Amino acid sequence: MKLRWYQEQAVAAVWDYLRNEKGSPCVVLPTGSGKTPVIAEMCRQVLEWGGRVVVLAHVKELLAQAADKLRRFVNPDDIGLYSAGLNERTTDKPIVVAGIQSVYKRAAELGERQLIIVDEAHLIPPQGAGRYRRFLEEARKISPDARLVGLTATPYRLGSGWIVNDRISEEQRKEENGACDRLLDTIVYDVPVNRLISDGTLSAVVSRNASRRPDFSKVHVVRGDYDEKEIEKVLARKGVLERACREIVDETIDRRKVLVFCASRKSARRCAELLREYSEDFDAAVVDGNTPSGDRADLIRRFKSETGDETLIGRDKPLKFICNVGVLTTGFDAPNVDCIALLRPTQSLTLYHQMIGRGLRRAPDKANCLVLDYGGNVERLGPIDVPDPEALVRAPSVPKLWRECPKCRSVVARTYAACPICGEQLVMKRPPSDPNAKLQDSASGKAILSDQEDAPDEEKIEREYEVLKVEYAVHFKKNAEEGKPPTMRVSYHFSSFRYPISEWLCVEHTGFPRRKFEKWWKSKSAVPPPTSVEEAVAYAQQGALATPTRIKTVGKLGERFPSVVWLESTPIPDFDPASVKFDDGADDYFDDGFPEFEKLESAEDSDDDREHFCSSCSHWSPDGESMTGGYCKLKECDRALCDPICEAYDYINKDEYIPF
């Protein structure tokens, strides 16, 4: 079996970390992208070195899956299983795939192991004893130098946030006061969902809210998530489930397999009855924790099949709907699932991502996976490609990055001027303004000179970011007046899959804009401020400026462009202006616009005017002129291009979006 590009990178990242650091690394790969081949390749390499490995998982489906794929990489005689559910307890093989429920008290029986791999690492509790901790404590008595590696699609846990130490803020550490002891230290590799969708590895996803959602607003939170008994009471109200199931059937006429997530057995059984009633040509079934393993396997087999079983009295109806409770979130592999119905609310970001992840696998003739959300989960927890463990505790005054289209009910990025699914205009026209609306009862504290500080303002919004890299480019404003000078655009990257924060400096202007640039430049460079934009960009690109490592943005709600303040940076460098080289032909030297904001000004822009943005090197290009087969053609850049007006999604082609 040959690894995909990101799987090879994940394995390399783990070994690089283990060679150079003392901690425990974590690999994050989206559901459906193939964590098991990564585990198998690590095991194969450890075997080549003469080492021994134990792979831990929590469900027997994952154990059987891991063992099966391991046999494609290494000699099957080197692999053993330790699982009561699979009726096998092998301990003497160099690779042992073990169920944590079976082995957590018996680590000593496995003997010395150099590597301990945990699949679904988000299940490791952040505190207390627990099965994983008990196993690790005993294993390290026998193998004190054993290294721990975790793999997961969701590196966060309900109630405690991130499962790795270096993502925890100082404020959260103070609140925990030493109560949490996370076993994993850092994420060494993380590939975004939208990247794997854009390159065809995963299926595209579209979302749609219910036309009439059940009202879960009064349901209380118990032990970190919504009370299942109160959810059941809401669904038991007259007509609630009937409306939802009728809509599920209507919305999935052209869908093949529908997976419905319910909160209780009672609502799941009622849901299956209604789906059978409303969909005469298809069958519906219930799977929960009490379903016998043999019956569950048979139902899953029928669900994966496109036709019904042959019987003595004819052929059964194809099984199109499965209503499940508390199962089929991990270890369930049915690529033909092209609709997920969330008939329950949750506050668990992990559960939310795991449920939607059941529809991310690719299958023949599967254009995308539709998510029908009846629990308000998409609006509550956000797009799946921008994981945000703090979404539930964010201040209400901070606007969300997404919203619902009033026409087709799709959930799309807030930056869209028009819905990419149905074309509905999303930017509402402002009512006539009151000329006296901005008059205030008290005098403003706004600074009147550039070197003064503004008076305190309760409406200010300040955010801080760790800067990954900074880029400089010559910026020509789109549709600018003839003769108007360009500016220098400074782009601060704080994420590998989100647009950078930018500011524009008026190098060639006069008056206050020029003085502002000079003040900015002198605080960051030992070289006198340049007089042309091309010269300033060339100096900045070749090392004349200090490098920011932490910035702060200051603005107000509704402002497009907050100001940027450098909080931390490297020392001002010694720089010789005579060493500067100018390259008039460099493709990434000039920036021909900042179209994502210009697109917001009008909902009438056509697809023919679309511009493209490379999410890796930040290169913009009009009409896709730098796109070759869907990829950026700049040197050393192979990232797929994405839609400039969408902050969280990759642009695949003219008619296909990922509105999550």
Q: Which sequence spans correspond to the domains of the chain?
A: 5-191, 197-393, 460-579
Lowest mean pLDDT among 400-404, 485-489, 534-538: 400-404
pLDDT for 159? 66
Q: Bigger pLDDT: 72 or 454?
A: 72
The per-residue pLDDT for range 118-174, each reduced to its tens digit, is 988 888 776 656 788 888 888 888 889 899 999 998 888 776 678 888 877 777 777
Give the span between the Cα atoms of 585 and 568, in whole angstroms.
Answer: 33
Confidence of residue 63 (pLDDT cuts 50, 70, 90): confident
Whether the pLDDT of residue 650 is over 50: the answer is no
pLDDT for 591? 47
Average pLDDT of the residues in 102-124: 88
Find the radius of gyration of the CA atoms of the chain: 28
Confidence of residue 502 (pLDDT cuts 50, 70, 90): confident
CATH architecture of the domain covering 197-393: 3-Layer(aba) Sandwich (3.40)
pLDDT for 434? 55
Contact between 262 and 344 under an 8 Å Cβ cutoff? The reply is yes
Which residue matches tokens 């059978």? 276
b (16+ CB within 10 A) / e for 234-254: bbeeeebbebbbbbbbebbee
DSSP state letter for 425: B
Q: DSSP secondary structure string, 511-532?
A: HHHHHHHHHHHHTT-SSPPPSS
The per-residue pLDDT for range 512-522, each reduced to its tens digit, is 888 899 999 99
Whether the pLDDT of residue 7 is over 90: the answer is yes
pLDDT for 183? 82
What are the residues whose beta carbons fall under 8 Å from the beta carbon of 415, sequence distance 6 or more?
A: 401, 596, 600, 645, 646, 647
Fold classification of 5-191 is Rossmann fold (3.40.50)
Confidence of residue 566 (pLDDT cuts 50, 70, 90): very high
Give the span between the Cα atoms of 308 and 301, in whole angstroms.
Answer: 10
* Six-digit token string for 521: 């430049």
What are the residues whose beta carbons fall under 8 Å from the beta carbon of 54, sequence distance 6 or more?
A: 95, 96, 97, 98, 103, 110, 113, 115, 116, 117, 139
Give the span between the Cα atoms of 355 and 340, in whole angstroms.
Answer: 8
The per-residue pLDDT for range 410-446, each reduced to its tens digit, is 776 665 677 766 777 776 544 555 555 545 444 444 4
Q: How many CB atoms lie within 10 A of CB 576?
A: 9
Percentage of residues in the chain with pLDDT exceeding 90? 25
Average pLDDT of the residues in 299-321: 81
pLDDT for 621? 46
Report for 263-277, 279-293, 299-313: range of highest mean pLDDT = 263-277
Of 387, 471, 427, the residue nearest 163 (C-alpha): 387
Give the span between the Cα atoms of 265 and 285, in whole angstroms.
Answer: 12
Confidence of residue 599 (pLDDT cuts 50, 70, 90): very low
Give the span between the Cα atoms of 346 and 352, in whole angstroms.
Answer: 7
Beta 627-628 vs 631-632: how paired, if at all?
A: antiparallel
pLDDT for 647? 32
pLDDT for 65? 74
Average pLDDT of the residues in 518-544: 90
197-393 matches 5-191 in CATH topology: yes
Give the span between the Cα atoms of 261 and 322, in whole angstroms.
Answer: 9
The per-residue pLDDT for range 315-358, each reduced to its tens digit, is 788 999 999 987 776 656 788 899 999 999 998 888 888 888 88
